[in-house]
Structure 1
Amino acid sequence: MTIRFYAPEWGNTLPFDTFCSNVKAAGYDGVEMALPFETAEKQTILDTLAGHGLQLIGQYWQSFEKNIDEHAASYEKYLRNLIDARPVLINCQTGKDYFDTARNQRLFALAARLSAESGIPIIHETHRGKCLFAAHVAMGYLQADPGLRIALDISHWCSVHESLLADLPEEVDMAISRTDHIHSRVGHPEGPQVNDPRAPEWEEVLNAHLGWWDRVAALHARNGTPLTITTEFGPAPYMPAMPYTCMPLVSQWDVNVHMMNILKARYKDM
């Protein structure tokens, strides 16, 4: 099994070339990010990634429109823009939590068609506010569509369900069985991101996430299929910050590199 690690561009404030140099030096395989529509700006990003020997995971998060026809048109526009860059895969925060099943399934079908046409895998993230916002809701979509594959950011479900999901074993099992990509952020029952996963007070929560990720990695090892992981601890306000100054409590970069190193060591023999 091959596991590749990606850095989130989200939160970066450095020049992109400097950021990519740091990403490569830290030991990442690539970057997960959205892309602009402007041709020259987009090509500069792709050339910079290539120049540093970094792969791309395309990221879609711009699901804003309430009208489903407008929403689907925008969704297709963004996905085609990412497909044009030939990423390793596209990770989508698809749909809305307030869309009914038919509207979200229309978006899944659109993504499946574009994936089949392009040969680029398109997967769907378990994210608050989107179609897969809760474990029991995601299970319904996964049962209805055997081809649906996901990016597991289970930190969101800890927050949505205000628990470590002990009472949702079947729903978690289903999600793990369909996971192709992990966002290794650590959430907790009162929020989607702990302040510092290195702190001892988060040991139980960290171990719960490691247990879920271990099961995903073991499944891919048995199947001989590739797995990708983005260490997606985010900046403030995801990262808790000091009042008034708004200074983050810890370094987003340091935490993400720490998570990558933990998981590399944990899965090196798989």
Structure 2
Amino acid sequence: MLIKFFCPRWGSESLSWDDFCLKVKQEGYHGVESPVSLEEEEKKDMKTALDKYELLFIGQYYQSFDSNLEVNKIEFEQHLYNILELNPLLIDSQTGKDYFTAQQNKELFDLASIFSNDNNILIAHETHRNKALFAAHITMNLLNQNPEVKITADFSHWCNVSESLLEEQEKALKIAIERTVHIHARVGNSQSAQVSDPRSKQWGSELEAHLNWWDKIVENRAASNSNLLTITPEFGPYPYMPAIPFTKMPIANQWDINVYMMNLLKERYHLYN
């Protein structure tokens, strides 16, 4: 099994696609994870840069803002087809809403499953606040009810939602780990989905907890004879990144943190490089 690392576009939108992809390539990432604009000119620039620097691509869908399920479904499918035009390795999807019923979210999972089968593309539903898989216990129930669903594991959100390091949610973690095909490697804590800087010893317990979960995902994917596991270090900019009051100056460098996390995991999982 190989492990490939992807750089988030999130936080680097001020760079042109060419400058961004050059920087990504120079840091040693294998690819980019990003949403895809509906504007043809930007989409063309994006594809040109990805091809120029020979970078893999993971598409990202997050635009599930509408509380009307039927509108949500239409927009979901529109964005999935738009992402597909750039030949993604897989699609990370922030599917559904936390206030939808289990049946309503199931309709979105079913739509994704049909799309996935029709287009031979893997969709990983992200464990994200405000979305269908916003909490560990809710996700456990939905995964049991929807056995075809695969996930992007971003357990930092669950730590924030539950105000814990999930010490009492081992059953939920077990099924989530078994269904994970993609990781967002961000470290959260009981009060936030992002620690200020994982390089600081003050977050040692939080980092260790996340590393242990990621280790289990790697072990599970390898044991199931999977060919590939993808990881995106996804520490975000302000307001995910804490900032100095009044100035909004971030207290750490997002880019450097994500590169640090990639290199930490490359070393930790060097057998899969």
| Aligned-residue identity in percent | 48
Aligned to 1:184: 185
- Does residue 106 (structure 1) correspond to residue 107 (structure 2)? The answer is yes
SS in 1 for 2:124: strand
Amino acid in structure 2 at the alignment position of 1:264: K
Q: Equivalents in 1 of 2:10, 2:186: separation in Å?
A: 13
Aligned to 2:9: 9
Aligned to 1:56: 57
Aligned to 1:268: 270
Taking the TM superposition and a 5 Å limit, the aligned residue runs for 1:63-102 are 63-102=64-103
| Alpha carbons 1:86, 1:120 under 8 Å: kept | no
Q: Equivalents in 2 of 1:103, 1:221: separation in Å?
A: 33
Aligned to 1:231: 233
- Does residue 217 (structure 1) correspond to residue 218 (structure 2)? The answer is yes
Aligned to 1:203: 204
Q: How many residues align?
A: 270
Quote the offset at 1:211 in angstroms.
0.2
Amino acid in structure 2 at the alignment position of 1:64: F
Aligned to 2:248: 246
Amino acid in structure 1 at the alignment position of 2:235: F
SS in 2 for 1:269: helix
Quote the offset at 1:102 in angstroms.
1.0
Aligned to 2:258: 256
Q: Equivalents in 2 of 1:188, 1:48: separation in Å?
A: 36
Q: Equivalents in 1 of 2:146, 2:102: separation in Å?
A: 12
Which deviations, in whole Å up to 9, do the C-alpha atoms of 1:38-65 show, x marking residues without a partner?
Answer: 2232122111111001011000000011
- Does residue 142 (structure 1) correspond to residue 143 (structure 2)? The answer is yes
| Alpha carbons 2:50, 2:56 under 8 Å: kept | yes
Quote the offset at 1:163 in angstroms.
0.1
Q: Equivalents in 1 of 2:247, 2:84: separation in Å?
A: 40
Amino acid in structure 2 at the alignment position of 1:11: G
SS in 2 for 1:21: helix
